[in-house]
Structure 1
Amino acid sequence: MDSLFEKKVYICQNKDSEIRFDSTSGGFFSAIANYVIDRQGFVFGAEFDENWNVVHGYGTEKKDLIRFRGSKYVQSDLKDTFQNVKNLLNDDRWVLFTGTPCQVAGLSSFLGKDYEKLVLMDIVCYSISSPIIWKAFLQHLIKYNKLDLTKVTRIKFRDKTQYGYEYTLMTFYDKDQKELYSSGPESNQMLRSFVSNTSTRPSCYNCAFKNIERVSDFTAWDCYNVYKYKKSLDDNQGTSHVMIHSQKGERIIKELAETLTLYEVDLNEAVESEPAMVECAKPSKLRHDFFTSIASGQDVFDIYFKENIKIKIERFLRKILSKTGLYSLVKRMIKG
C-alpha cells in the first residue's frame, strides 16, 4: 500500500479476445502476468495439482498461465510459496504473486519490506471454501454423476463457453475439450454451498481485510455493470474492475495500454457495485450441521442442497433467457 498514492479504479478488458474469453472476467491477470514473464519473472497463483487439489504454484512461460487463469472457490495450499518468493526477490528476479487479500497480506508481512520487482495482486474475495468441501464434491460427482476424474484435464469454475460472462457454468473437460460435467450456479451443489456461506471458513465471517486499504498494487473484481460505464464494452465476454493502490501499479498499467482497453471510473461507484469489497460473509445457520455431517461421511450435498422443482424451473428459465439473449436484460431489470 502506498499511503501517498491516490487510488484509482479502471474497468478493463484484455485486447486478446481468446485470453479474455478464457478468463473469469476481463483477462487483467494475464496482462500483468505477461508483463512479469516478459522480464524473465515468475508468476505465482492458484492452480490444481495432479489430484485436483487447489495449491499455489508458479510459472515462467506464457503457456503456463492457463493453469492459474480462472476463479477457484477453494482455499489454496500455499506450501513453501512465501519462502520461494523471498528467495527469488533476493536474487533480483521479477515476481507476481496473486491470491486472496489475506494471502497477499500474509506474504507482505513475511517479506517485511517492499521490493521494486515484486508485483502484488489480490481479488475481491466473497469468502473461501474449505478444501474438505471440494474433495467431498468431487466424490459426489464420481458417485452420482459417474464422473471419471482420470479423464479430466481441466476444470473451470466459471466457464463462459455456453452462455458467456453473465451466466457461467462449472465445467469439467477431457483432453479433447469434451464436456464431462457442467452445471450452473443455481444447480451446482458446491457453488450453492459457497454462495450460501455454508462451506465458508469461520475466519471469513470476520475478515480483517474487507476494506479498500490493501498492501497490494492491484485489486481486481468483476464488472457486471459495465453497461453503466461504457455500453460499447458490454459484449458478455467479460470485464474487470481494477483498483490501483500504488505508484508502481499505476506505472505498470500505463505500460500495458497497448494490451488492455482501459476506462477510468469513479472509485466510490465502483466499490458500491461490489459489497464484498468491504462486507464480510454472513454466517450460515447450516454450517455446523453441514460440517458435522461431512465429518461422519455423509453426502452433505444431497442432504442440504438437493435439487428441487424450484431449482429445475430456475435452471430452465436461465438457459432459455441466455439462449435468446434476454438474460442480461432481465437480470438488470430485477436488480433495478
Structure 2
Amino acid sequence: LELCTYVIAQGGMVAGAIYDDEMTIRHVLRERMEDCLAFAGSKYAQSSLGDIFSEIKETLKTGRLVLFSGTPCQIAGLRRYLKKSHPNLLTCDLVCHGVASPLAFEGYVKWLEGYQKKRIASICMKDKTHGWLNPQIRVEFSNGKELNGSDETQVWQRAYNSALYMRPSCYRCPYTSFQRTGDISLGDFWAVQNIKPDIFNPNGVSLVLLNTEMGKEVFSHIKGNFKTEPLSEKEAIQSSLSVPVKMPEGRSSVMNSLSSKGFMSHARSFRSSRATRYRTRLGRFIRMVASKLNSRNQ
C-alpha cells in the first residue's frame, strides 16, 4: 500500500486485483487511495484481466504514472501488449507459488456459501490472528457471521497447497528465478527466523527485490517507512525463486472431476474427519468459556 500511496501522490493510478461483489477476482484501475485498500492481501487464484491492459495503455498516453501489480506472467503479458517501454509505467510482481484455477475457486465459494446458506461478503486469505507463521482463512458472510481458520474455510488453503488446481503454465513457469518482470518484486521472507533471526517479526517480514533503476528510485522515496535489512541473493532465495511448482500425480483426473462433478468431488478429501472437527469445535468452546470466566474474575 505504500507504493499505492506514493503513486497516487504523484497524480498516478494503480491497477491491482480485487474481489468483486460476486467474489470473482479481477484487475481494476483506481486513482483514490481508499479504493486501493482492496488490493491488499493475497488472492490465491487467477484474476480476470478484462480490459485492464487497454485501460493502462490509454492512461499512459496521458502522461500519468501507472502502477500495475500482478503475477510475473501478467506483467510480461502487459509489456508485450504495450510493445514499447513507458517511463511512466511502474510494475510490481509477486514472488508467486502459482495461481489456482478460477473454476476451482468459484467452486469453493459456491460450496462454502451453500454450506453456510449465506453469501460471502469478504475473504481474507492470510489472517494473522494466530501469527504470520500460522495464517488462517477468514471469511465474513452477509449476515455478519465470521469463520476464521475453521475446517470449512481451510479447505481452500489445503487445496491450494496440494498444487492440484494450479494453471498448467504454472508447472513450467519461466519466472521462478531472480530474472524478474517487475521493477519491484514482493513476497514473504520465509525462513527469516533461520537466516536473519534478529529481524524476525511474528507479524511477518516481507522480501523486496529491486530489479530496475526505476524500482530502486521509487523505493528510495518510501524506504523510510520501513525497517530494512540488505540481503544477498543466497539469503533471499525462496523455492518460488528457484523452481516451478511440481505437477502432482492425478492432476488431470482431479481437473476433469472439477469440470464434470464440481469442486467438492475431490476437495472433500481436504476436510478433517468428523471426529477431528468435533474435537476442534469443543476445544474452541472450552477456550471461549475459560476466557469469559477469566475476564469476570479480573
Shorter-normalised TM range: 0.7 to 0.9
The residue that corresponds to 1:290 in the other structure is: 254
Residue-by-residue CA offset, 1:132-160 (whole Å, 9 max, x unaligned):
0011111211233x1511xx432111111
User: Structure 1 residues 72, 310: closer, same or farther in 2, change over 3 A?
Assistant: farther
Question: Is the contact made by 1:121 and 1:216 (CA closer than 8 Å) also made in structure 2?
Answer: yes
Q: Is the 8 A contact 1:185 1:192 kept in 2?
A: no
Choose between structure 1 and 2 for higher RCO, CA contacts under 8 A separated by at least 6 residues. 1
TM-score normalized with structure 1 length: 0.77
- RMSD over equivalenced CA pairs, Å: 2.6
In 2, distance between residues paired with 1:295 and 1:132? 8
Letter in 1 for 2:17: A
For 1:186 and 1:269, locate their aligned partners in 2 and report how far apart those are by CA, in whole Å: 36
Given that 1:37 and 1:60 are in contact with CA atoms closer than 8 Å, whether structure 2 keeps it comes out as: yes
Q: 1:154 maps to which residue?
A: 122
1:263 to 2:229 alignment? yes
Provide TM-score, normalisation by structure 2.
0.86
Alpha-carbon shift at residue 302 of structure 1 (Å): 4.9
In 1: Cα distance, 2:21 partner to 2:152 partner: 28
2:187 equivalent to 1:221: yes
Residue identity opposite 1:293 in structure 2: S
Specify the alignment match of 1:164 in structure 2. Answer: 131
Q: Write the distance in 2 (CA, Å) between the matches of 1:56 and 1:134.
A: 16
SS in 2 for 1:158: strand
Choose the corresponding residue for 2:204, options 238, 253, 277.
238
Amino acid at match of 2:272: E
Q: Whose helix proportion is higher, 1 or 2?
A: 2
- Per-residue CA shift, 1:132-190, capped at 9, x if unaligned? 0011111211233x1511xx432111111x212111111112579x5522226997222
Q: In structure 1, how many angstroms separate the alpha carbons of the residues matched to 2:100 and 2:7?
A: 29
Percentage of pairs with the same residue: 26
Listed as ranges, the matches of 1:321-332 within 5 Å are none
Pick from 34, 39, 44 the counterpart of residue 68 of structure 1: 39
Supply the distance in 2 between the matched residues of 1:175 and 1:185 (Cα, whole angstroms).
Answer: 20
Alignment of 1:93-132 (within 5 A): 93-132=64-103
Alpha-carbon distance, 1:280 to partner: 0.8
Unaligned runs of 5+ in 1: 1-29, 320-336
Where does residue 77 of structure 1 map in the other structure?
48
Structure 2: unaligned runs, 5 residues or longer: 285-298
CA deviation profile, 1:41-83 (whole Å, cap 9, x unmatched): 1111111111000000122111112211000011000001111
Alignment check: 8 A CA contact 2:151 2:271 kept: no
Out of 250, 254, 271, the residue aligned to residue 306 of structure 1 is: 271
Deviations 1:268-315 (A, max 9, x none): 2211xx111121111122322212222223432454423238976997
1:138 aligned residue (103, 109, 123): 109
Q: CA deviation at 1:259?
A: 1.8
3-state SS of 1:104 partner: helix
Highest Rg: 1 or 2? 2
Which residue identity does 2:170 align to in structure 1?
Answer: C
Paired with 1:252 and 1:232, the residues of 2 have a C-alpha distance of 27
1:84-142 Cα distance to aligned partner (Å, 9 max, x none): 11111111001000100100111111112222221100011111101100111112112
Quote the Cα distance in structure 1 between the aligned partners of 2:142 and 2:15.
25
**For the Cα contact (< 8 Å) 2:177–2:240, is it kept in 1?**
no
Q: Which residue of 2 aligns with 1:21?
A: none
CA shift, 1:262, in A, is 1.6
